[in-house]
Amino acid sequence: MIAVPAGEALSLGQFLLGPLTMATPGPQTDKKLALCGAPLTPRQTDVLARLGRLRTYIPIDKPQTFREVISVPLEPGTVPGPEICPLAESLRAPPTPRSGAVAILPRRTAEKFCLTNRASLTAWLRAKKIAIIEPESLRLADLTTALACAALVLLADPLQAGLLGLCHPGAKILEIAPEGWLGPEARCLSVLFGLDWTPFLAGPPRYPLQGGLPFGSLVPCSYEIPIRDLARALESHLTT
């Protein structure tokens, strides 16, 4: 039995970076081992169905007893090695001519810092014909197709770095993070998958000692992505 971190609290990118790699079809896989974990989200269900492991998954919504369970904890900042490659290849859509750009913004319910200019940034991205994709809402087939044909991916959510395995080698990745909070996951995964990774530092996190929180904020710290600087970075990426 393999314990798989799953459920609503886990992003799809985190789901792909966990011990799910042990359930991927391949010579190193023990297909006799079943999987268990929290009740799956629709997208997590899609992934296991694509891997042919949905029937072997036991949702734990009440106390259960197993003879033996293999558990690999998800440590913050831990980046998997080449073992994730077969999983990505099993899920990745066929190669298509790359064109256009897509953006993945932080989920409001899971963001560490509130993105204060989310509304203006969203409007600007749409005006630039950059599709904003929400991995937890899209069907898996639509998500894999969008990432397979994107020439440029703006990744502003480190919790979705695991989705970079759905891009084909040569795709450009612009990772956006608050100053001082650029993690290793996207960079290391880009090396594994042959992606062209570039960092873009947004403003530093701010903590308002006085006054109320930004409208709609669920966390006390906030930051802003400077649109003018981002426009320059995008122009450089789209012309090279």
Q: Compute how many other C-beta atoms are within 10 angstroms of the C-beta atom of residue 115.
A: 24
Lowest model confidence (mean pLDDT) among 126-130, 135-139, 196-200, 213-217: 213-217
Q: For the residues of 204-240, what is the DSSP string, one character each? A: PPB--SSSPPPTT-SSS-EE---HHHHHHHHHHHHT-
At residue 155, the 3 state secondary structure works out as strand
Burial 204-237 (b: 16+ CB within 10 A, else e): ebbeeeeeeebeebeeebbbbbeeeebeebbeeb
Q: Average pLDDT of the chain?
A: 86
Predicted confidence band of residue 136 (pLDDT cuts 50, 70, 90): very high
- Could you tell me if 44 and 53 are in contact, meaning their C-beta atoms sit under 8 angstroms apart? no
pLDDT (mean) for 26-32:
55
pLDDT of 5 over the 90 cut: no
Which of 8-12, 71-75, 102-106, 201-205 has the least mean pLDDT? 71-75
Answer yes or no: is pLDDT of 46 > 90: yes
Q: Would you state the CATH architecture of domain 101-238?
A: 3-Layer(aba) Sandwich (3.40)
The terminus-to-terminus CA distance of the chain in angstroms comes to: 48
State the Cα–Cα distance between residues 9 and 130, nearest whole angstrom.
27
Does the pLDDT value for residue 43 go beyond 70?
yes
Q: Which long-range contacts (CB under 8 A, 24 or more apart) does 196-201 make?
A: 196/170, 196/171, 196/172, 197/173, 198/172, 198/173, 198/174, 198/233, 198/237, 199/174, 199/175, 200/174, 200/175, 200/176, 200/229, 200/230, 200/233, 201/177
* The pLDDT value given to residue 71: 74
> Has residue 74 got a pLDDT over 70?
no
The reported pLDDT for the residue numbered 218 is: 73
For residue 12, what pLDDT is reported?
94
Residue 13: its pLDDT value, please? 92
DSSP 53-90: -GGGEEE-SS----S--EE----TT----GGGHHHHHH
Domain ranges within the chain, ordered by starting residue? 2-91, 101-238
Task: Give pLDDT tens digits for 201-213.
Answer: 999 998 876 566 6
